[in-house]
Structure 1
Amino acid sequence: MATRPISPEDHERVAAAIRAAETRTDGEIYCVVAHASDGYFFPAAFMATAGILIVSLAVGYGLEALWLSIRLPHFVMAQLLALACVLALLWALPGLRIHLVPRRLRYQAAHANAIKQFLARNVHRTTARTGVLVFVSIAERYAEVVADSGIDAKVGQHVWDGVVRDLTAQAGDDRLADGFVKAIESVGAVLAEHFPVTSGDTNELDDHLVEI
């Protein structure tokens, strides 16, 4: 996914896209990009510990097969030393941790963060419950569109899945801002179809990309 920093110009492009989309709908669009959704120290430490135990078993059986022996205290000390070195490495190099965590757990963390942002940014508190969050978590290579209940009643999940596919494809080409702009245009078109703008419409959420 994207590695290039999001520039002030990119932020302005996304904000302009939100403002343009919301001129045609009573719905609200909110965008959040997270650099990572978790620190992953403990999941990575668990996976590393499990790996060391598995390797230790293999080494133990290998030594026995070769008619070699090692004193148990020395073997345990070697395990503890290996574990200490790995944990120190994980602590010193946060970017390494995520590579030890299964994709399913990474996606769970990113999804949980998307829901957290949806609630924390008050996307669920629009008058007609027509708020939509466009969320990306870069480290996990994850994107999600979270729609409030007023929209979910009229728009199927397959629509948002298509938006996410386009967004992740653009982000994968290091064009995250372009992906957000296209996603906003797509979401705006859906909202305009089901919730066209009315004379009493007010802007209930900030029109900018939040970077966390």
Structure 2
Amino acid sequence: MLLSETDRATVGAAVTAAEFGTAGEIVTIVATESDAYHDVALHWAILAMLLVLALLSAWPGAADPFYELVVGRWSLTMPPSALLGIALILVTVAFLLVRVLLAWRPLRLALTPRTTKARRVRRRAIALFRASAERRTSGRTGVLLYLSLAERRAEIVADAAIHSRVAPEIWGDAMIALIAAVRDGRPGDGMAEAVTRIGAVLAEHFPRRADDINELPDRVIEL
């Protein structure tokens, strides 16, 4: 489980309280990660192969020990075919070694560029928003707060009516509060604080109506 029972209760209560003063609807989702990043591991493995070829191109003599290991020291001249064969073996070993090492998720994440993580988290957030909040409220006032734990990144995605009135940078305080708490190991508190700040923004632009009903669930969704 991603969150404790206390965290779930805290976030759910924060959503209920935040929606009390607004016609907006807040959906909260927490995911282990937004992508497996296996393509990143493949890119590193290919880079390792190219590095081996570059080294052999710059220092062909580096292949001599491998040649002597196979044919013995009595051979003084390495034929071109032998160099190509050694190169093939070395690039294959380099590829497989990097792929095996990067099968370990923490290392794969550590070697994934921050910009790549940001794009994948944003893409997943938009996909989940379309599935859980977009056009699911009568006034197009749904907001998704998405947290991806492995990347320690979060996204806020708003429906059409909110997006037309609230500039994206307005959500900055909510994002800062959330990420700071996640880095301290308090994701539940961070989600709750972010929800409170989102609710304040929504209350300013979309105050609660007399006939307002709860259109989306308040509980946090864990993926």
Question: What TM-score does the superposition give when structure 2 sets the normalisation length?
Answer: 0.85
Judge conservation of contact 1:44–1:98 (CA < 8 Å) in 2.
no
Alpha carbons 1:47, 1:101 under 8 Å: kept: no
In structure 1, the residue matched to 2:21 is 24
Contact 2:29–2:144 under 8 Å retained in 1: yes
Aligned twin of 2:107 = 96
User: How far apart are 1:5 and its partner, in Å?
Assistant: 4.6
Alpha carbons 2:48, 2:91 under 8 Å: kept: no
Where in structure 1 are there 5+ consecutive unaligned residues? none
* Per-residue Cα deviation, 1:90-144 (whole angstroms, up to 9, x for no partner): 34x2333222222111111110000011011134321101111111111122111
Deviation per residue, 1:54-111 (Å, 9 max, x gap): 24312441344x79585220221121122123223334x2333222222111111110
Aligned length: 207
Structure 2 CA distance, aligned partners of 1:111 and 1:48? 26
Question: Could you give the per-residue CA deviations for residues 13-44 of structure 1, whole angstroms, max 9, x where no partner exists?
Answer: 10011011111111100111111111111222
Aligned: 1:144 with 2:141: no
Q: In structure 1, what is the equivalent of residue 168 of structure 2? A: 157
Deviations 1:174-199 (A, max 9, x none): 11111111111101111111111111
User: Which one-letter code corresponds to 1:177 in the other structure?
Assistant: G
One-letter code aligned to 1:23: F
- In structure 2, runs of 5+ residues without a counterpart are 68-82
2:27–2:133: 8 Å Cα contact kept in structure 1?
no
Q: Root-mean-square deviation (CA), in Å?
A: 2.0
- 2:84 aligned partner, one-letter code: L
Question: SS state of the match for residue 204, structure 1?
Answer: coil
- Distance change in 2, residues 1:148/1:38 (3 Å): same
1:62 corresponding residue in structure 2: 59
CA distance in 2, matches of 1:46, 1:197: 50
Q: Determine what percentage of the aligned residue pairs are the same residue.
A: 37
Counterpart in the other structure of 1:190: 201
Shift of 1:47: 2.2
Contact 2:45–2:94 (Cα < 8 Å) also in 1: no
Does residue 1:38 correspond to 2:35, yes or no? yes
2:156 maps to 1:180: no
**Contact 2:147/2:154 (<8 A) preserved:** yes
Secondary structure of 1:202 counterpart: coil
Alpha carbons of 1:51 and 1:199: their partners in 2 closer, same or farther (altered >3 Å)?
same
